[in-house]
Each structure stands twice: as structure tokens, then as C-alpha cells.
Amino acid sequence: MTMYAGPIAADPSCREVLKARLAQFDSEALYLHNRLHRALKHWPVLLGGQAVQVLWASASGECRQPVRVAIALGEHRIELNIPLRLLELSGLGWQPGAAIETDADTLLLEQAWLSLIEPLEGLLGESLRVVPCTPDQPHKGLQVAVEVRAGDQPAQALKIHFDAASAQRVSALLEQHCAVTRDPLQGLRLALSIEAGQAPLTHAELRSLLPGDVVMLDTLADAQVLLRLGRHCQTVVRRQGDTLVWQGALRPGSPAFSPYPFDRNDPMSEMSTDADLDASLDDLPLTLICQLGSMELTLAQLREMAPGSVLPFTSQAHDEVDLMVNGRRIGRGELVIIGDGLGVRLLGFSGS
């Protein structure tokens, strides 16, 4: 059964708590950040004498036993956190420390990576050199997660860090050599809805709500919300200040399957054929969806979205939401904190 709280007085501290849970994003770096986070096809490389698959801008996990490596791409400096296991698979015959710090170590690593460096230099027309770095030096402002799979080995996650100049250069090279294939409908604009949570209700429960009542919501964890393209596709994004951070691939969505893992409600029983029509309609199962807003993206933009891509998003006043049932707006609500969870306070029904 859906959990209800009685009318709760408006409390500004609830809004402050909600905002405190959301990280801030540097809007000045947004353009470069998204250029670095365009979805690209896997590309094969040769490293340490074996075939390696590279997935750029992945939703990869933790970089285990990271070793800090600095690369000079022409005049630009790029820094990587590489898992020790990947360095071993690349042919490194010695145990590095927390960083490749000495000239001797850089020469040894360059030798191990020669099968990768030489083809890349020929393709890019620029030199690639491993240069010394220290483990305690602050990282650059922009980063990309990359997943590397060597042969039949488990995938390894690494992080690449850029300053503004190196990010611009690498973005240009990616667009030149790894651009996403375009199609004639790339400018077609598609509307996506942004959903904060949902609450399974019966028609009778929905009808009994009054302004000021609060309904507990089934939500995603860690300030994540659902981005839905009609009934066809959906993905998860994370609210981060005035932006939405893309978390995973756009996948087919089923209206019969709830994406929310924290379902506080028992399954609705089927309507009885013996009950009278009014009673049956009172038991009609509905889903109340709290919609934060909507946005439009072109087909080309959707194809290029990758984990880490950031979309500008301006939330409505006091985290107000549209209350949607069966695809139609029935009223307005305001998100509130209830313990460790999230709820919605009914502000009013449409036309009331």
C-alpha cells in the first residue's frame, strides 16, 4: 500500500536538504566536457603484442591499484590513472610505484607501449611521449572514464585527465578520426520527460488526496532520475546542480516494467468481475508520476550521448513537479524529504 503522510507544513529546510544532496557542476567547462563525452564505437588497438578493445566515455567502475602516467601529445599534457593490472598486461616487466616519476621509468614504459605509440603518431601526425609526473600533483579539471579489454581478460577501468587546451586538442582528434556516423534525420528533435519518481495508487486513493497531503515515492538512488523518450526508450541521469549527467545507454523501455528498484507497494490485485462497476473502478491500478520537466534533443545528440555527458537543466521553483497519470497532467506537487526517502506534497489538481 502506498504510504501517506498527512498535511506537512512547508519547510524551507527541506529544500535546502534536497539541494545539499546535489553536487555543483562548472558550467564554463560544460562545452568541452560534452565534446569529450560523445559516444564512439569500440576501436581495436595493439598493446603489448595483443589485441585490445577500447571503449571511450564508458560507465566503467573503479580504477584498481592506479598508477599515474603523464603523456605529452605534441605540446599538450595528458594524465592517466591506469590500473596496475593493465600495465602488466601491456608488457611492463617491472613493478612501478604510484606514478611513473623518473626518466628511466618513462623510457621503459614507452618501450612497452611502442606497438601502440608508433601507429598513433603516424595517424595523428604528432609525437607521443611518456613524461615524468608525481603522484601527489593535483589532477586537471576535466576527465573521461575509459574501459580497456585485453584479449579474454576482464575489462579494466582507467581515467584520463585534461586541462582546457589538451581537452580541445583531443576532442578535435576524436571528431576527426572517430566521429559518430551521421544520418539525414540528425536534426530531428525528440521530446524527453524527466521523472523524479512514481507512486502506484488506486483510483480511489488518488481521488482521496487533498492539497497538502504527502505521498511517498519510489525513486532511484543517489539523486538519479529517469529520462524517458515516450514509451520507447529510457535511461538514467543524475541531478548535479543545474545539469543532468548522463549515466548509461539509452535502452528500450517497457511501460509494464517499473525502472524503480525501491518499490514500497505490494502488487495490485486483479479487479473482481463480481464487484459493481464503481467498486471496480475504485480499485483500478494507476501510477502517479512526478515529472520534473522535459527537454528536446536532436536525434544526432541522442546518438552521441555517453556516460558522463551533461545536459543543462533548470528545475522549477521549489522543486515543483507536474503530477502525471496515464501520460496526462492532473495537478502540481512539490518534492519533499521524508526520512531517507523522497515524497511529493500535493499542491493542487488541475482545474481546482
Indicate whether 182 belongs to any domain.
Answer: no
| pLDDT at 255 > cutoff 70 | no
| Mean of pLDDT values over 130-158 | 85
Q: Are residues 138 and 168 in the same domain?
A: yes
User: In the β-sheet with 156-162, what is the strand arrangement from edge to edge?
Assistant: 43-47, 50-56, 142-150, 156-162, 76-83, 66-73, 128-131
Q: What's the number of domains the chain is made of?
A: 2
| Mean of pLDDT values over 159-163 | 93
| pLDDT at 48 > cutoff 90 | no
Highest mean pLDDT among 73-77, 89-93, 151-155, 270-274: 73-77
| pLDDT at 8 > cutoff 80 | no
| pLDDT bucket at 161, cuts 50 / 70 / 90 | very high
- DSSP per-residue string spanning 108-129: HHHHHTHHHHHHHHHHHTS-EE
Q: Are residues 147 and 207 in the same domain?
A: no
Q: Are 181 and 110 in contact (CB under 8 A)?
A: no
CA 283 to chain centre: 37
- Is pTM beyond 0.85 here? no
Q: Percentage of the chain surpassing pLDDT 70?
A: 78
Q: What is the mean pLDDT of the chain?
A: 79
Question: How far apart (Å, rounded) are the C-alpha atoms in residues 242 and 194?
Answer: 13
- Helices and strands counted in the chain (H then E): 9, 19
Q: What is the pLDDT of residues 196-248, one digit of tens each?
A: 899 998 888 888 888 888 999 988 888 889 988 877 788 899 888 788 988 88
Predicted local distance difference test score (pLDDT) of residue 73: 94
Predicted local distance difference test score (pLDDT) of residue 6: 45
Predicted local distance difference test score (pLDDT) of residue 70: 94
Indicate whether 253 belongs to any domain.
Answer: yes
Q: Are residues 16 and 136 in the same domain?
A: no
Of 26-40, 76-90, 115-129, 333-347, minimum mean pLDDT range: 26-40
Residue 184, C-beta contacts closer than 8 angstroms, at least 6 positions apart: none
Q: Are residues 155 and 204 in the same domain?
A: no
Indicate whether 76 belongs to any domain.
Answer: yes
Q: Are residues 228 and 343 in the same domain?
A: yes
| 321 grid coordinates | 513537479
Q: Is 92 helix (H, G, I), strand (E, B) or coil?
A: coil
CATH number at residue 167: 3.40.1550
Predicted local distance difference test score (pLDDT) of residue 273: 40
| Mean of pLDDT values over 111-116 | 86
